[in-house]
Structure 1
Amino acid sequence: MLRTAVIGTGYLGRFHAQKYVQLPDNELIGVVDIDKERGGKVADECRTRFFVDYRELFGKVDAVSIAVPTCHHYQVALDCLQAGVHILIEKPICDNTEHSRRLVNLAREKSLIMQVGFLERFNPVLSDIRPMVQAPRFIESHRLAGFKPRSMDINVIMDIMIHDLDIVLDLVDSPISQIAANGASVLSRSVDIAQARLSFASGCVANITASRISENSKRKMRIFQQDACLSIDFQNFSVKQYFKGKGEQYPGVPSIEHKAFSYVDSDSLKREIADFIHCVRFRKTPRVCGESGHRALEVATRISDIIAGAEQ
């Protein structure tokens, strides 16, 4: 039986704790938060212990979820890894790439599992269409959300766009040759809406738009490849696959046919944490390992720097 805990019981941390309780093969030893009232409530809900200092967990747990504000990710993760604890760390992995590289290297040196919380990777839509993606040529994504004050410690690139950066980097097996980006601060002190254009050595181009000040939410991506297109709706768990038909819609122009797929929400967070538990128990490489989290952060940082430079 794996001994687990959750560090940080805010919006996401509370959900992490609930999922650990629901999953087999682990015992939730406790939850941690500097806010005694908030942490105590989550501990009561999950019928576990409450701790104010995460270092009290060392020697009592095998693996933890880290769901503290991004600015604290590095120190908490560093202490956990040095104590021999496996970690599932919420995205972004850290607030700078120097720190994320140190964590990735330390986890490797100590043979510890380090998983990064990119929830969309466990969306049943993405899991199913992955084999359909072959040598993409053009990708277009839109991830739009309403304003939420809880994420103001990071910009929209680190907060929202990084999900699609992670997906695109996983789908396109090629180095980035060029990045162009622009963005604007609207309601907060940091960038709230941004667009990035990634050009890859393979010739693939990805246009990625993210906003956290939209009236309506949207999480869609279109992937164009030779003779086919995939239109993905992550929010409504649906996919349309378009491809050339055998007939002609106009003389010399092939007809377009499509197949539609729909999925049931299977609780992506529960699947993510179940994968983490499985990887720790059987020493398997996570679907989203520390190296993947570091790479996504590298690209997100480059985009942020380009936008910051344009604003000066």
Structure 2
Amino acid sequence: MSTNLRAGVAGAGVFGGYHANKYAEAAGADLAAIYDVDLTRAQEGASKHGAVGTDDFDEFLSLIDVVTIATPASTHGALAEKALMAGKHVLVEKPISLDLDVADRLIALSQEKGCVLQVGHQERYVADAFGLFDRGAPTEIRSRRLNKFSGRAMDVSVVFDLMIHDLDLLALLADTDTAEITHLDVRAEHGDLADYVDVALLTSSGIRAQLTASRLEENPNRDLGLVFGEGEIVLDFLKRETTNTTSTPLPVDFGSDDKPRALADPLAHGTETFLEAVRTGSEPTVGGRAGRRALSLALMIENAAMAALKDQ
């Protein structure tokens, strides 16, 4: 009898398919089931891996030991809570939920049930691979995450869809879950929720952050800049280029032949660290509290963005 963990993916969309592939490739796990409210889609995704496809979440939970929740963001909290109540280990995609009280319940439940709760902030692994957390706090953080409109993730604003990644990095680098908003520009073109947000933040430790997220752009852009006293580091994720004017070299490069797993395939790395935490009982790399801190910053910006849109 196999001793592999039985893995499941909730959500049979594009990103859920990516997660399913990672479980199918991972050592020590077997992809056992895929859940989706669309039964046909669940079964089509499952058939690629010899797994069960179902639209019954209770049946799904009975077939698995660990689950990745890759459903629409507005459903993350409820599905994660139900899975934890059933004693399942949970990797929930970002954001952890859309409500701080729900996030707190998930954290408490994971402790009560002895289950791993990990949040899918994959960008954290990339930043760590570049050694960005080993240099001390920067004085300034700049991020642009500018995408074309795709129609996906329209149940939430661009803050929860895209900016949440950079808010996790800010929370870790500044060791905070709150900040002062010093500038805000917001646009909504495809509904009532913000599709473009440009925000300037000032943390209590004096770190300034300029974050821009958009799903309205003709010309995509994705870069991250950190300013230190001695220079600046810029990672251009689309051009796969780095700029470093500090005196300390970066430990890796986008073009390196021997890139660490965290840089070469951060989604697979996140899956593997989750499974390792389940097997060993260790703390996950990005646990529930980290997800809560990013959510706290996101809600602060979201509330200000919604107020600004009402005034337009």
TM-score of the superposition, structure 1-length normalised?
A: 0.89
Distance 1:52 1:306, change over 3 A: same
Match of 1:248 in 2: none
| 2:244 equivalent among 241, 251, 274 | 241
Match of 2:220 in 1: 217
Q: CA shift at 1:102, angstroms? A: 1.3
What secondary structure, in the 3-state scheme, does the structure 2 residue paired with 1:78 have? helix
Query: Is 1:179 paired with 2:167?
Result: no
- Structure 2 Cα separation of the partners of residues 86 and 52 of structure 1: 20
Distance 1:268 1:196, change over 3 A: same
Match of 1:158 in 2: 160
Match of 2:283 in 1: 285
Q: CA shift at 1:233, angstroms? A: 1.8
Distance 1:266 1:298, change over 3 A: same
* 8 A contact 1:4–1:27 mirrored in 2: yes
| 1:306 equivalent among 297, 304, 307 | 304
Cα root mean square deviation, aligned: 2.0
Distance 1:26 1:260, change over 3 A: closer
Q: CA shift at 1:135, angstroms? A: 2.3
| 1:167 equivalent among 163, 166, 169 | 169
Higher strand share: 1
Aligned residue-pair number: 299
* Percent identity over paired residues: 31
- Structure 2 Cα separation of the partners of residues 46 and 243 of structure 1: 47
- Structure 2 Cα separation of the partners of residues 178 and 221 of structure 1: 21
* 8 A contact 1:175–1:201 mirrored in 2: no
Compare CA radii of gyration and give the structure with the larger one. Answer: 1
Distance 1:129 1:260, change over 3 A: closer
- Structure 2 Cα separation of the partners of residues 223 and 78 of structure 1: 36
Distance 1:79 1:258, change over 3 A: closer
Letter of the 1:205 partner, please give it: R
Match of 1:272 in 2: 270
Letter of the 2:158 partner, please give it: V
Q: CA shift at 1:15, angstroms? A: 1.0
Match of 1:8 in 2: 11
Query: Is 1:61 paired with 2:61?
Result: no
- Structure 2 Cα separation of the partners of residues 176 and 58 of structure 1: 35
- Structure 2 Cα separation of the partners of residues 236 and 304 of structure 1: 30
Letter of the 2:152 partner, please give it: R
Match of 1:262 in 2: 253
Distance 1:174 1:190, change over 3 A: closer
- Structure 2 Cα separation of the partners of residues 150 and 21 of structure 1: 25
* 8 A contact 1:63–1:86 mirrored in 2: yes
- Structure 2 Cα separation of the partners of residues 242 and 154 of structure 1: 37
Q: CA shift at 1:243, angstroms? A: 2.8
- Structure 2 Cα separation of the partners of residues 184 and 9 of structure 1: 30
The equivalences for 1:92-131 within 5 A come to 92-123=95-126, 126-131=128-133
Q: CA shift at 1:113, angstroms? A: 0.6
User: 179-188 vs 289-298, which deviates more?
Assistant: 179-188
Distance 1:78 1:290, change over 3 A: same
Letter of the 1:233 partner, please give it: D
Letter of the 1:103 partner, please give it: L
Query: Is 1:80 paired with 2:78?
Result: no
Q: CA shift at 1:111, angstroms? A: 2.0
Query: What 5-or-longer segments of structure 2 have no aligned partner?
Result: 256-262
Match of 1:249 in 2: none
Letter of the 2:122 partner, please give it: L
Query: What 5-or-longer segments of structure 1 have no aligned partner?
Result: 245-256
Match of 1:39 in 2: 42
- Structure 2 Cα separation of the partners of residues 89 and 2 of structure 1: 17
- Structure 2 Cα separation of the partners of residues 194 and 120 of structure 1: 19
- Structure 2 Cα separation of the partners of residues 112 and 144 of structure 1: 36
Query: Is 1:51 paired with 2:54?
Result: yes
Q: CA shift at 1:82, angstroms? A: 0.6
Q: CA shift at 1:231, angstroms? A: 0.9
Distance 1:260 1:271, change over 3 A: closer
